[in-house]
Every structure is written in C-alpha cells, then in structure tokens.
Amino acid sequence: MKVLVTGAAGFIGYHTCEKLLARGEEVVGLDNLNPYYDPELKRARLARLQDSNRSRGRLSFHQIDVADAAATTRVFDREKPRRVIHLAAQVGVRYSIDNPHTYVDSNVTGFLNILEGCRKNRVEHLVYASTSSVYGANTRMPFTEHEPADHPLAIYGATKRANELMAHSYAHLFGLSCTGLRFFTVYGPWGRPDMALFLFTRKILAGEPIPVFNGGQHQRDFTFVEDIAEGVTRACDQPATGNPDWDSDHPDPASSAAPWRIYNIGNNQPIQLLDYIRVLEDCLGRKAEMKLLPLQAGDLPDTWASANELQQAIGYQPATPIEDGVRRFVAWYRDYYGM
C-alpha cells in the first residue's frame, strides 16, 4: 500500500514513517524542512528513514510546502497514494500568537491543498493531525470528543479546529473518508527542541534555569511518541465511516452521517508538570533550577484525554509509563548530542 505522509521529517511524522516502513508499506514522504527549529535535526531524521537497510527502497521523498498548491498537486498526480497521513503543520501555541499568518498559510491553506489532492485522486482514507488545543476554554475533564470544542485560546488551536470542519465538508460533499486525531503533549526520542522535555533537558545539562509556567501546577496528558505512531498507523488502517445512529437534532461532535470521525489520542493519565520535571531530574542525575512563571497566554491550564473511543475503534492502548519514556528520551539526547 502506498501511503503519503506529510511532515515526514517532523517528530511524529518520522516515527510514523518508521512504523509504516517496518511493516512493508511504500511511503511517500513530504516535508518543507522549514527553519522553525533546527533543520539539521529534520535532515537527520530523514537520513535515518532513507537508510537503505531500513527503507529498502520503499521510501521516496519530496521537499515541498503543502501551502504550495501546484507542487502539492504534482505530488498527488505523480504518486497516486492510496491513503494519506497529514502531519505537516506549523506547530506551537506560543509562536502562533505573534505569527498568525504563518499558521493560516500552513494549517488552513495547506490542509485545503491536501483535501483537494485527496478528492481529485480518490484517496480512500485521510488521517490528519488535530490537537488537544482545540478544547481551549473547556475545563470539564477528561476532555471527550463528544463535547463541543469551539473556544480555542490561540490561533494554533483555531486553525486545527478549522481543519476538522473542513474535513467534514469534504466527507459530506465528496465521500472522502476523514479521521482527525487530537494529539495530547507528545514526547520522546527525536523530539522537537521547542517542547518542554527537550528544552528542560538542554538547560539542566547546561546548568541553566528552566522556565516553569503556571508555577508548575498545571497537568498534561504526556503521551510517548511511539504509542502515538502506533495509534496513527492503526487509524490509517481503518477508514472512517458514517455513524448510522447520528441524529441531526442532537448532533454528536465526534461523528457524522458522513464518513468523518474525530478521536482523542493521548495517554489518559495526566501528570503534574512538577512531577514530570522530577522524573527528568532522576534520569539526568541532576537537579533543575526552576524559574517559576505565570501561565502563558494561550496555554490550557490542564489537559486530560479520554481515549476510550479510539481504544474501542482500533485497539489503541498507550503502553509507555512516563519514567520509561523520559529515560528513553534522555538516552537519545545524550547519544545524539554526544553528552
């Protein structure tokens, strides 16, 4: 099966491609290798994927931006993928506050180009990345897909919520099977330098204070990246179908009469940030100097995923405890940076 994976050189994209290649799929990777963070890290991920001992010729790669409609169309026309996993996006809640146009270009225009490519080439299933940030001002825990998510707190979450609604339009109008996955605070080896675990590790090893927002009191549903990649590939295997019980008088926000589904993909076990830092200190063998700061604009105070629906649909079951996941990240970080 030929699968197009956008954002293939990204954090989650890299691990997803590894899963697909390991089981023998033909993968078409797409990424623009932009400088939002160190492109050398992206190239290193890509080099591992392109290793002939790993991909055995089953991986091809196109360096393009999904916001480039003509280039994206050419990839679809040339490759004719059977299924698409769309992970390319401009990420980061805080960066979106000062750079909103970048998010609309990548996350809205880029997603439209992917939808059009899927429609015109009769792709049988589109799986795409959404985010826990869509829950925004919601405070009822755990977050469930069956409650509305219409109050995002930053443009990043707003663009991803727009993706969910755009996908529904294409599912309704053209019968395009679409599955949206709301990721919850993914961490692990080959992670992004702008995320907490990477940033904290670098600063602790350098003897620098770490910024701890909300005094470290907020909770996050930290989810190990390999568990996420397993969920993404399993979701890809099961095209979304219409919900025969969907009632337009009492509409379920997670499904539709059209072939469209929304799922949380998280660890279903929130952890306080201060506890997360303590685990990291144990793995590094060093204490962190913490600079306690107020909650940052646009951040959710807490996240907690109810992942029951995804478990029932595809057997998704996160299996990595936080102690093991952080240890594996630290081992990768020390090896990659020679520390």
Per domain, the residue ranges of the chain are 2-183+225-266+302-319
At 53 the pLDDT is 62
pLDDT digits over 324-336, tens only?
999 999 999 999 9
At 306 the pLDDT is 95
The set of long-range contacts for 70-79, using a CB threshold of 8 Å and a minimum separation of 24, is 72/30, 72/110, 72/113, 72/114, 72/117, 73/113, 73/116, 73/117, 73/120, 75/4, 75/28, 75/30, 75/117, 76/4, 76/117, 76/118, 76/120, 76/121, 77/121, 79/2, 79/4, 79/28
Homologous superfamily of 2-183+225-266+302-319: NAD(P)-binding Rossmann-like Domain (3.40.50.720)
Is residue 52 predicted with pLDDT exceeding 70?
no
Instruction: Report the pLDDT averaged over residues 181-187.
Output: 97
Is residue 301 predicted with pLDDT exceeding 70?
yes
CA distance 134 to 158: 7
> What mean pLDDT, rounded, does the chain reach?
95
Catalytic residues: 156
Instruction: Report the pLDDT averaged over residues 161-180.
Output: 98
Tell how strand 271-272 and strand 219-220 pair up: antiparallel
Instruction: Report the pLDDT averaged over residues 277-305.
Output: 91
pLDDT digits over 128-160, tens only?
999 999 999 999 999 999 999 999 999 999 999
